[in-house]
Amino acid sequence: MAEPTVVHSTFVIDRNYPQPPDRVFAAFAQPSRKRRWYAEGDHEIQEFEMEFRVGGSERFRYRFKEGHPIAGSEIANESTYQDITPENRIVTTTRMSLNGKPILVAVLTLEFVRSASGTDLVFTNQGTYIEWPGGPAMIEQGWRGLFDRLEKHLAS
């Protein structure tokens, strides 16, 4: 039997940060702050633009550097902010492509919940992976790494 051409997957990541919700939320809402922990890394940024408002868009395009298994390949993420409740919730729809070919369409929900120790961040990723059966595990691993980077960013 052939591998499915579309895989549907949902995962949830719960994290706690010792900062208050307004500070954690700002790391997602302010373009310069988000770029530092989210966009910068072991790749060359081709484009990073954010218009943080309901109906606004976020565009992030980068190329993998030499030494990466798919060096020279380009990833593009195009997102639309569907719902924003300050210090409480962000919902986006996202389309990811690899070298111009769509590989993922997802709904991403971030919930910021005040806790006795700071902020509980609840991240839900509901994705449709197009001809990418290993995509769900790779995307979840990627988000876990990003949330580790966010923790370091918030601590500085």
139: CATH? 3.30.530.20
Look at the chain and report how many structural domains it folds into.
1
Domain with 151, as residue range(s), is 6-39+85-155
Residue 146 placed within a domain: yes
Longest Cα–Cα distance of the chain, Å, equals 51
pTM of the model: 0.93
Q: With a cut of 70, list the residues of the chain below it in pLDDT.
A: 1-4
- The confidence score (pLDDT) of residue 22 equals 97
- The confidence score (pLDDT) of residue 83 equals 98
In eight-state DSSP terms, residue 82 is E
Please state, in angstroms and rounded to a whole number, the distance separating the CA atoms of residues 18 and 118. 4
Give the pLDDT confidence of 83-127 residue by residue, as tens digits: 999 999 999 999 999 999 999 999 999 999 999 999 999 999 999
Residue 55 placed within a domain: no
- The confidence score (pLDDT) of residue 41 equals 83
Residue 119 placed within a domain: yes
